[in-house]
Amino acid sequence: QVQLQESGPGLVKPSQTFSLTCTVSGASINSTIYYWSWIRQHPGKGLEWIGYIYYSGSTYYNPSLESRVTISVDTSKNQFSLKLTSVTAADTAVYYCARERLFPHWIDPWGQGTLVTVSS
Amino acid sequence: EIVLTQSPATLSLSPGDRATLSCRASQSVSSYLAWYQQKPGQAPRLLIYDASNRATGIPARFSGSGSGTDFTLTISSLEPEDFAVYYCQQRSTWPLFGGGTKVEIK
């Protein structure tokens, strides 16, 4: 059974950078079929896709966040990470990592999510 | 950018009722539409992909239909565990989600 688990700071100050890590178990991140994604959900709101990475390191980002986002992968640890720079209160959200397949397209499973609060 | 509009925002029903949720795309997405269920405090769970294909382990009471711009998720007979928020999602250039429909107990 594939499981994903996010880890990282729960509180970040405005203008700073935060990083989250997703640890994948039950599957190899070296898969040629799947991509590894980050998605966030603002409190009480809908879902916003942030971007994904392939095991080779190629990435694709949501254009609205592209200038501040970096997703990286560590295949030796079966982990991938999200870095978001210059954060503001608008970046307060639950951040999910997930496995994504392009053809057919679906996102599943998801990690349990981790709340990141941006506040001084 | 393709926009997905879900309706209604809230659906008040009783266990055993049939639920019909709508998702409309601002332009054609062919059959490339998925549905997810999210319960409070939990991550979303994939229900349907490619408009009508049930994901592994999803009960047969969940069905999806539609193509082009109009899609429907139907729950044939609501079980207590089905009361949740449902999102549709399409992937044109990048994944985009609808605003969600909350199915609540009447």
Could you say which residues from 25 to 54 on chain B have a Cβ atom under 8 Å away from some Cβ of chain A?
A: 32, 34, 36, 42-46, 49-50, 53
pLDDT of residue A1: 94
End-to-end CA distance of chain B: 36
Contact across the interface for B97 and A63, Cβ inside 8 Å: no
Q: Is it the case that residue B1 has pLDDT exceeding 90?
A: no
Contact across the interface for A104 and B50, Cβ inside 8 Å: yes
- Put simply, whether A65 touches B (Cβ < 8 Å) is no
Q: A57 vs B91, which has greater pLDDT?
A: A57
Q: Is B47 left (phi over 0), alpha (psi -120 to 50) or beta?
A: alpha
pLDDT digits (tens, 9 = 90+) for A19-51: 999 999 999 999 999 999 999 999 999 999 999
Distance from CA of A16 to the nearest CA of B (A): 27
Contact across the interface for A96 and B43, Cβ inside 8 Å: yes
Q: Which of B10, B23, B32, B89 to mutate to test the interface with A (most CBs of A within 10 A)?
A: B89
Q: Which of A3, A4, A38, A47 to mutate to test the interface with B (most CBs of B within 10 A)?
A: A47
CA distances from B76 to B15, B57, B71 (A): 11, 17, 16
| Side-chain-facing half-sphere of B5: CA atoms under 13 Å | 7
Question: What count of residues does chain B have?
Answer: 106
Contact across the interface for B42 and A112, Cβ inside 8 Å: yes
DSSP structure class, residue B20 = E
Q: Is it the case that residue B92 has pLDDT exceeding 90?
A: no
pLDDT digits (tens, 9 = 90+) for B2-32: 999 999 999 999 999 999 999 999 999 999 9
pLDDT category at B93 given cuts 50, 70, 90 is confident
Contact across the interface for B43 and A63, Cβ inside 8 Å: no
Calpha distance A115→A95 (Å, rounded): 6
